[in-house]
Structure 1
């Protein structure tokens, strides 16, 4: 018994492959692009972040840089006129635990905040001063 061969395709018959998978993929891509666009419109940007939030972020970054021993990062977060030996956490060895940033007040390009931190087994609160330079809040004195 000979095996039956499949019928040869008719050269005059058009290809009947469906466009449905391609249209479905296109619809998914359009939905994703629209979703990303809408998310960008409704999500807050850094430009809408309040001065208070940016000051708190600067304090957090400064303490993290101290804990990592990253002096260049601390230098970037300080004003040029504030030497390292007069800056917050100067002379503090070891880990600093940031307990809170309170009473943040900003007025134009200047601000202050009470920074509560724990180091050397004690909790201390100090008022830090900030100046906004090129839209970046930096630890300063004024």
Structure 2
């Protein structure tokens, strides 16, 4: 079954409605990798987590987005690593169009954010933490 959204993208970039998010930028988690896809989720707070973990010092932001082309389950968090798609995470080689900024997402406490950073660092140190690009 295809997810009909709504869809969200978390980032530290300051974007406006109509802007296009595209593939071809460095991974937030492995900066040596240029990503072939743009990633998004149907979970508002999942996008918030991605925004908080994104590289850079700017404020985390969540945007309502719409895919402009076909998309697939994100294999980094679905069947290739975990059963199903519980995070409702997707990726596309086609751009995402920004519809609006979303303000009603749950921010992490500094302690919870540090726990996520520690967990992410541990996963990336493990050879199974390789990004499927």
Length-normalised TM-score, structure 2: 0.23
Higher relative contact order at CA 8 Å, sep ≥6: structure 1 or structure 2?
Answer: 2
More helix by share: 1
